[in-house]
């Protein structure tokens, strides 16, 4: 939060942010269900799931190789000029290990507060992991 240069966050830590009105609240469920104001509930979550199921090819950071394989297949990237020349770039991205800049312990107060604020986004993430498997079967791709 120190690097944001946003005056309302100056001198605040993550717990302060999580308790504030500035904290995100189920942003992805809100975007996908077109519900940017008011409370969200299971109905909004189900709408978001349906939008993802019908309109998105999903990828997972924890399965970059499988994600890139499905994107290659779905978008027919292998048929585009320069595909082989760009392979090195894709391989670097696939081989990178994601390391969070500020890791958060699941038993910390900040994690608990953020989880509570984003419960429906967390449920949506669980659904995306399942959707990833379903799409792998649909596209005939192996889940790595």
Q: Is the dihedral of CA 29, 3, 5, 106 positive or negative?
A: positive
Compute the distance between CA of residue 138 and CA of residue 142 in angstroms, rounded to an integer. 10
Q: What is the pTM of this model?
A: 0.85
Name which of 40, 28, 49, 30 is nearest 130 in CA terms.
49
Phi, psi of 92 (to 5 degrees): -60, -45
Compute the distance between CA of residue 136 and CA of residue 63 in angstroms, rounded to an integer. 12
| Mean pLDDT of the 107-134 span | 97
**What is the pLDDT at residue 73?**
85
Q: What does the pLDDT look like over 8-35, one tens digit per residue?
A: 888 889 999 999 999 999 999 999 999 9
Q: Of residues 73 and 18, which shows the higher confidence score? A: 18
Q: Of residues 108 and 1, which shows the higher confidence score? A: 108
């Amino acid at each position: 939060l120190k690097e944001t240069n946003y005056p309302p966050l100056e001198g605040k830590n993550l717990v302060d942010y999580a308790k504030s009105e500035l904290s995100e609240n189920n942003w992805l469920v809100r975007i996908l269900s077109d519900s940017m104001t008011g409370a969200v509930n299971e109905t909004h979550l189900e709408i978001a799931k349906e939008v993802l199921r019908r309109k998105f090819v999903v990828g997972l950071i924890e399965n970059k190789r499988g994600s890139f394989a499905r994107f290659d297949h779905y978008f027919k990237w292998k048929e585009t000029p320069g595909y082989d020349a760009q392979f090195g770039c894709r391989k670097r991205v696939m081989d990178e290990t994601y390391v969070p800049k500020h890791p958060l312990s699941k038993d910390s107060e900040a994690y608990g507060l953020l989880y509570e604020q984003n419960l429906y986004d967390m449920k949506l993430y669980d659904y995306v992991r399942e959707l990833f498997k379903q799409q792998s079967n649909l596209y005939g791709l192996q889940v790595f």
